[in-house]
């Protein structure tokens, strides 16, 4: 411990008369003791009362164990190096120094670096981000796209100088040299590499000729593969309209990019094997299909030839004019039937018309007059208008003038007498 304060400040406590200190003086002495003697400490404990103060970006919390609690703070400048989120209940190892917050006379731990206890900080960061993205549904199978069966143009996002790209090129050259490869050079390790990977994926989404995207790298430590565990790369793969195949590290390595990709290959070479369809096999398959189609067409032609021969052997083809003659004869027969039916129908209508005319003639008032009857109508009659037909003698009075219409001619007369005899009734 640093005991530079012991001769000067300690003398203050050896006087026979106790010295009176101000609050600021005693606080300043304690501050010097703490900061001089605890400038580098490592403290283990559990986080509680955690709070991230938004405006400043500083982290405030307490570290506790079964017997005590100490206030702690991690300033924003130091917190930018954190690869995981601090959470209440998390057990950590904190590296920092003790300091005194003079306005409150409260000592606290100023933390420069934090390690989670039990697991590494990258494992914690991996778990935290995985759980959050899993809750959002980013890794769900429903959002994954089907890989095209025969992609022609492949976009590859990786380091152009890596062994991984050489292995992939060898696979494509061996299996299908007809496929076109476009390489977007991107760092796959180190600070900022995730943004280069993101730009590569976004770039290939702007090209209409690219059918599929591969991204990945060779094996390495968790730190080496970490850029494929960043949210930046995960989000780029998630929003890609083109199917994405990942091949990161070795078969035992799993990254968050693998979980979100449309297909996860265990290695970069395996990714190429999956995407590179064998041109020779497809060519052989096409040849087999062509042979089957040719054989099928030959069979159809043979069947058609036999059917045509059978049709040509029928009598109708031997003398096709027979059909025309038969149809002409049928047409003549139908024409005669139609003419006869028309004549009969006209005759029936004529007879009906004659009968109706005779009935109308019998009902004609002129016909009645020709049989000796006459019609009387008013000329000067008090109770009737001139011209009204007289149907009842009771309508008349003596000296009324009436007109009598005969079959031939008209007579005007005056009523002399009226009789109420009813000629239609029996007496």
* Final residue of a structural domain among 74, 101, 118: 118
Q: Are residues 135 and 273 in the same domain?
A: yes
Task: Count other Cβ atoms within 10 Å, centred on residue 416.
Answer: 7
Cβ neighbours of residue 238 closer than 8 Å, sequence gap 6 or more = 138, 143, 260
Taking a C-beta distance cutoff of 8 angstroms, is the pair 426, 415 a contact? no
Residue recorded with tokens 């990977």 = 197
Would you say residue 301 lies in a domain? no
Residues 139 and 83 occupy one common structural domain: no
State whether the Cα torsion 87-93-95-98 is positive or negative.
positive
Structure tokens at 322: 């027979």
Tokens of 287: 């040849």
> Pairing between strand 410-414 and 58-64?
unpaired
- Are 205 and 232 contained in the same domain? yes
Q: Which helix (H) or strand (E) holds 244?
A: strand 244-248
Q: Could you tell me if residue 73 is inside a domain?
A: yes
CATH classification of the domain holding 221: 3.40.50.261
Rounded Cα–Cα distance for residues 426 and 420 (Å): 14
Residues 39 and 170 in one domain: no
The token duo for 203 is 């770039």
Find out whether 225 and 237 touch, Cβ atoms under 8 Å: no
**Best CA proximity match to 47, nearest among 68, 64, 66:** 64
The number of domains in the chain is 3
Task: Kindly report the pTM of this predicted structure.
Answer: 0.49
pLDDT tens across the length of the chain (427 residues): 444 444 455 555 555 677 877 788 877 888 787 777 788 888 888 888 888 887 888 888 888 888 888 888 888 888 887 777 778 777 878 898 888 877 787 888 888 888 777 656 677 778 888 888 999 999 999 999 999 989 999 999 999 998 899 999 999 999 888 899 999 999 999 889 999 999 999 999 999 999 999 999 988 887 888 899 999 999 999 999 999 999 998 888 889 999 999 999 999 999 999 999 887 666 666 666 776 787 788 888 888 887 887 777 766 666 677 777 777 778 878 888 888 888 788 888 888 887 887 777 766 666 677 777 778 888 777 677 777 877 777 778 888 788 888 877 888 888 888 877 666 554 4
Are 132 and 112 found together in one domain?
no
Structure tokens that stand for 292 in this block: 């089957």
Reduced 3-state DSSP string for 172-212? HHHHCCCCEEEEEECCCCCCCHHHHHHHHHHHHCCCCCCCE
Does 15 fall in a domain?
Answer: yes
Per DSSP, the chain holds a count of helices (H) and strands (E) of 13, 13
Residues 81 and 151 in one domain: no
Do residues 112 and 130 both lie within one domain? no
Residue 254 and residue 133 share a domain = yes
**Same domain, yes or no, for 213 and 153?**
yes
Q: 33: domain range?
A: 8-118
């Amino acid at each position: 411990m640093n005991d530079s304060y012991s001769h000067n400040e300690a003398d203050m406590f050896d006087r026979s008369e106790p010295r009176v200190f101000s609050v600021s003086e005693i606080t300043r002495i304690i501050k010097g003791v703490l900061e001089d003697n605890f400038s580098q400490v490592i403290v283990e404990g559990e986080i509680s009362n955690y709070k991230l103060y938004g405006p400043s970006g500083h982290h405030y919390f307490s570290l506790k164990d079964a017997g005590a609690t100490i206030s702690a703070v991690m300033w924003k400048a130091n917190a930018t190096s954190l690869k995981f989120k601090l959470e209440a209940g998390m057990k950590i190892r904190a590296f920092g120094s003790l300091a005194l917050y003079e306005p409150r006379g409260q000592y606290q731990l100023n933390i420069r670096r934090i390690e989670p206890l039990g697991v590494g900080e990258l494992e914690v960061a991996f778990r935290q981000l995985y759980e959050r993205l899993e809750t959002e549904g980013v890794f769900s199978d429903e959002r994954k796209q089907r890989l095209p069966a025969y992609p022609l143009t492949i976009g590859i996002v990786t380091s152009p100088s890596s062994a991984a790209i050489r292995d992939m090129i060898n696979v494509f050259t061996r299996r299908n040299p007809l496929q076109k490869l476009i390489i977007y050079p991107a760092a796959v390790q180190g600070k900022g590499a995730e943004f280069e990977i993101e730009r590569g994926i976004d770039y290939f989404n702007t090209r209409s000729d690219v059918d599929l995207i591969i991204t990945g790298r060779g094996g390495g430590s968790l730190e080496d593969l970490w850029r494929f565990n960043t949210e930046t790369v995960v989000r780029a793969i998630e929003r890609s309209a083109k199917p994405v195949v990942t091949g990161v590290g070795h078969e035992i390595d799993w990254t968050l990019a693998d979980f979100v990709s449309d297909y996860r290959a265990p290695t970069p070479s395996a990714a190429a094997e999956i995407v590179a369809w064998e041109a020779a096999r497809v060519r052989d398959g096409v040849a087999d299909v062509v042979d089957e189609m040719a054989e099928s067409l030959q069979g159809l032609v043979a069947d058609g030839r036999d059917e045509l021969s059978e049709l040509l052997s029928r009598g109708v083809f031997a003398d096709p004019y027979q059909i025309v003659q038969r149809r002409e004869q049928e047409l003549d027969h139908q024409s005669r039937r139609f003419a006869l039916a028309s004549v009969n129908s006209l005759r029936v209508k004529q007879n009906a018309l004659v009968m109706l005319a005779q009935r109308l003639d019998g009902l004609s008032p002129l016909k009645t007059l020709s049989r000796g009857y006459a019609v009387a109508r008013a000329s000067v009659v008090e109770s009737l208008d001139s011209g009204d037909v007289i149907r009842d003698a009771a309508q008349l009075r003596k000296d009324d003038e009436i007109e009598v219409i005969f079959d031939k001619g008209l007579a005007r007369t005056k009523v002399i007498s009226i009789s109420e005899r009813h000629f239609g009734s029996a007496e």
